[in-house]
Amino acid sequence: MPGSIEWAQMRLPRGIKQYSLVLLAVPGLLLLTGISTLADASPTPPASGAALPGDPNNGQTVYAQNCTACHGQSLEGGIGAVLNPIDKLPGVPNSLDPAFLIQIISNGRTHQPGDPKQTDMPEWSSPGKLSAQEIKDVAAYIIQQNQLGAGNAPLAPGELAKRTMLWVGIGILGMVFVTYLLAQYNMRWIARRAAARRR
């Protein structure tokens, strides 16, 4: 079969391997870029060793007495924002920053465009409401619950999409690479068979 022998003896151009590596690298870079920009970064709880602004045990009691009507018994949200995992607010780099939490509990927050809830957050620092220490304790409780629940909380839609894209991308790149290796092996095998037949 002269036609097969001629085809088997054809060599790939010398630069084909470099082009193949580029073809593999470009989708990988695009994938990583897409993953990094697909969804907003979720708020990062302070490291578990970081000092809390108050007493989370007292904060749990204060929260149960004053905050559950809006934010739910387990910080799951309601007419107020979800507090575990805490809602990301537009223009706020980290919703779990202790200073931010203390400020928003103390002074409240008027609904902003892009906020997950339409309701305003009332201020709690006026006389007859919460003391400065109680506000710090509630903030500590919210931070602690986010630290404890970070590994078990359901993923936000954006985070789930990021992880799905990552693993699908890795799978596609893996299949492309394996296909490339098999094609190289088959070309060598065909060339060896053709050379053996000529002898």
77 domain-assigned = yes
- Let me know: does 35 contact 166? Beta carbons within 8 Å: yes
Same domain, 70 and 119: yes
Report which of residues 20 and 199 the model is more confident about: 199
Q: Do 66 and 142 belong to one domain?
A: yes
User: Could you tell me which of 190, 192, 157, 197 has the C-alpha nearest to residue 7?
Assistant: 190
Mean pLDDT lowest among 21-25, 97-101, 112-116: 21-25
Same domain, 73 and 148: yes
DSSP structural state of residue 96? T
Answer whether residue 183 is part of any domain: yes
Determine what percent of the chain is predicted with pLDDT higher than 70.
70
Q: What is the pTM of this model?
A: 0.54
pLDDT for the residue numbered 25: 56
Please state the rounded mean pLDDT for residues 6-19.
Answer: 49
Q: Are residues 118 and 86 in the same domain?
A: yes
pLDDT band at 40 (very low <50, low <70, confident <90, very high): very low
Query: Quick one: tokens of 19?
Result: 């082009």
Short-list 125, 131, 126, CA closest to 106: 125
Tell whether the model's pLDDT for residue 53 goes beyond 50: yes
Lowest-pLDDT choice from 37-51, 53-67, 123-137, 151-165: 37-51
- Could you tell me the pLDDT band of residue 170, with boundaries at 50, 70 and 90? confident
Preceding omega of 85 cis (within 30 degrees of 0): yes
Which residues constitute the domain of residue 10?
2-39+158-198
